[in-house]
Structure formats: structure tokens, C-alpha cells
Amino acid sequence: MRPRYGWIALSCAAILSFAACAKQATEGESTTTSKPTLSGTIRVDGSSTVLPISEAIAEDFQKQNPQVQVTVGKSGTGGGFKKFANGEIDITGASRPIREEEDALCKKNGVEYIEIPIAYDAMAVVVNPQNTWCDSLTVAELKKIWEPAAQGKIKNWSQVRSGFPNEPLTLFGAGTDSGTFDYFTAAIVGEEKASRGDYTASEDDDILVQGVSRTKGALGYFGLAYYENNQDKLKLVAIDNGSGPVKPSRETVLDGTYQPLARPLFLYVNVKALDRPEVTEFIKFALANAGKLSDEVGYIGLPEQVYELVSHRVEKRIKGSAFGAHGSQVGVKLEDLYKIEEASEKGAQ
């Protein structure tokens, strides 16, 4: 009988065709040096929260510049900064400002960066639609529910506020690896990652939506976009931060009244990469379109003036973080951003 080695032929063919492709590609790179059309690769990575925005920017930029290859990864804020500090990527998305140790790592590796706020993200606190008693909660009440000391103790709505009915309290919240969890705990409990553990935690927000919509005494928190896509199944709770209950919306986030559960999202761009024309164009494109695209994918675009201020910041190559590299900060308002922007510009002049 004759042995058949079709599969060997197949693998060899695969190797050969790949080698041929590789050769072609390198040849192609050396010939495309003409200036007018942009080429090259832009590597974007980082937070899964920022991903929908960076993906939208990449998609539209790619359409206008077919010669440029834009890739967007999803390593999380922390993972993104690690790659960024190693110089492996050009731009990283972050759902919080850079931390001191991440800043130190960048410095150690000689990576300089410019911080670009790109949109606002708001967190929604929601209850079951059958919940008739709870329209708003104060930050202190939320803290009472979520702080580590509440574990095993606060198990009934009647314990949250006198006047609430005797109804078991079932909690749903973000998984401990998410930026949402970091920010919620920092904003409500006062310490990042400090939370009770006896609640349904999931990285999959759909599970949280299902959970809250099926349990009468449920309370949960997640990104505002998830509420907006499931409005019929959930009831939004207004947050009282000392000046009356406020529900999250575009207006209340932008005027700074929905606090402390709104946060800015950022892109960090490597200054060295910014010297490449395609990266400069990408950042310009991002700043010109971020407002519209953020709204489209479920976030809240910043006011135009902020994008203009940031454009100046990029043009003047003002490096570093306007937040002093202190990580999650609660209650960051646009007014503060302006002040910091102005201060840092003055400082650089």
C-alpha cells in the first residue's frame, strides 16, 4: 500500500505561503515611504471600560486611513499600563488616572506620556422595579450597605433606613478585578477595594442585570450603559451626596452634580510614539470625534472646551498626569480638570 502524506504537503504549503507573505510584507514596508498617505501600525490597549470608545475611534480612523493598521487590545487598566510602561504599545486606555507605581515604572523605562481625558463614565445604582420604597439613597447609606463591616450584618432593607420595609436585601455588584469595583469602593466606602464579600459579584454585567430584575429586594451597581439598555427591567436610584438626590444622566454628570459615582476615562499616549505622524493624526482624530463617539457607545462625551484644552496640551507636549499619579480619585469635576489643565500649562510655560 502507498502511504499518504497529504497533510505533510499541506503543512509545507502553509509554511511556504506564510514565508512568502512575510517577505512580501517587508518589501512593501520599505517601498511605502511617500509622505501624503499615512502608514504604519498604531497599538492601542488597556481598560475594557474604555474599549468601546477606542474601538469606535479606531474603526473610523481605519476607514479614513486604510494604509494604517490600528489594533485595540483589552488588557484592563492595570495590564494596559504595564504594557505601556514597557513601551510595547503606543496608547493605553484607563478608567482611572495613572498610579504612582505605574508612573515610576514609566520613568524607569524612559517612557514619557501625555494624559488625555476622553469621556465620562457614570455608575448606576439600581433596584428591582417592584421596589416601591427606595427612590434615593445617601452616600452614607450606600456605605452602610457595602462596607466590609456590613458583611453578614446588614441583610434587610429595614436596617438601611428606618421606614424601609422588612424585606431581605440581596446585593449584586462588580467583580473584584474590574475598574468599576475599584472606583465604586473608593467612592462609597472611602478605600479602594474595601467591600463586603457576601454579594453576587460578576464581571459579566448581564448576570447582574438579570439578578436585580428577578429579585424583589435586590440592589446592584454597574455602568450606566447597562441600565440604559435594560431600563424596562430596572429602577434607577438617585444618589444624595449632601445636596439632594440626583439621578445619573448626561446633564447631571457634566454639571458635576451626580457625584461621587461619575468618573473620567483616559487615553495615555507615549510621547515618543506621538512623533510618528500616524499617531499624531490618530490623537487629533480621537479628540475631534471622542464626544460624538462616546455618546454613541453609551458614555458621556466631555464638553468641547475640554477637548480643545487637551488638544493644546498635546500640541505643547505637556507630559505627566494632571492627577499627580494618585490613581482613583473620587469626585473629579470638570471645573477641577480645567483648573489643573490651566495650572499645568502655566507651570510648563
Question: Is 202 near another protein (CB under 8 A)?
Answer: no
* CB proximity list for 184: less than 8 A, separation 6 or greater: 123, 146, 173, 174, 195, 221, 261
CA distances from 191 to 140, 172, 183, 200 (A): 14, 19, 9, 20
Question: Is 52 near another protein (CB under 8 A)?
Answer: yes
| Residue among 12 and 149 whose Cβ is closer to another protein | 12
Question: Is 51 near another protein (CB under 8 A)?
Answer: yes
- Separation CA 74–CA 89 (nearest Å): 12
Pair 26, 74: CB distance under 8 Å: no
Of 72-80, 133-141, 253-261, 272-280, the segment contacting another protein by CB under 8 A is 72-80
Q: Please, what is the Cα angle at 219 between 215 and 222, to 5 degrees?
A: 115
Question: Is 288 near another protein (CB under 8 A)?
Answer: no
The three cell numbers of residue 187 are 467612592
Of 23-31, 167-175, 257-265, 318-326, the segment contacting another protein by CB under 8 A is 23-31
Task: Pick the binder of another protein from 298, 319, 340, 345 (CB under 8 A).
Answer: 298
- Compose the 228-247 pattern: x for residues touching another protein by CB under 8 A, - for all others: xx------------------
Task: Pick the binder of another protein from 38, 46, 50, 73 (CB under 8 A).
Answer: 73
CB of 229 to another protein, least distance (A): 5
| Residue among 25 and 243 whose Cβ is closer to another protein | 25
Question: Is 281 near another protein (CB under 8 A)?
Answer: no
- Separation CA 282–CA 32 (nearest Å): 19
- Separation CA 289–CA 77 (nearest Å): 22
| Residue among 47 and 321 whose Cβ is closer to another protein | 47
Question: Is 108 near another protein (CB under 8 A)?
Answer: no
The three cell numbers of residue 100 are 504612582
Q: How many residues belong to the site for another protein (CB under 8 A)? A: 53
Task: Pick the binder of another protein from 102, 115, 147, 205 (CB under 8 A).
Answer: 205
| Residue among 46 and 320 whose Cβ is closer to another protein | 46
**Minimal CA–CA distance to 167: which of 131, 204, 143?**
131
Question: Is 3 near another protein (CB under 8 A)?
Answer: yes
Question: Is 74 near another protein (CB under 8 A)?
Answer: yes
| Residue among 88 and 167 whose Cβ is closer to another protein | 88
CA distances from 278 to 69, 154, 270, 305 (A): 10, 54, 13, 24
* CB proximity list for 173: less than 8 A, separation 6 or greater: 146, 181, 184, 195, 199, 200, 201, 208, 220, 221, 222
Task: Pick the binder of another protein from 9, 32, 37, 71 (CB under 8 A).
Answer: 71
Task: Pick the binder of another protein from 167, 203, 240, 336 (CB under 8 A).
Answer: 203
- The residues pairing with 238 across neighbouring beta strands, listed in sequence order, are 136
CA distances from 139 to 69, 146, 152, 175, 186 (A): 45, 10, 20, 21, 12
Residues 134, 135, 140, 143, CA torsion sign: positive
Q: Which residues would be at the binding site for another protein (CB under 8 A)?
A: 1, 3-4, 7-8, 10-12, 14-15, 18-19, 21-22, 24-26, 28, 41, 43, 45, 48, 51-52, 54-56, 58-59, 62-63, 69-75, 83, 88, 203-206, 223, 225-226, 228-229, 293, 296-298
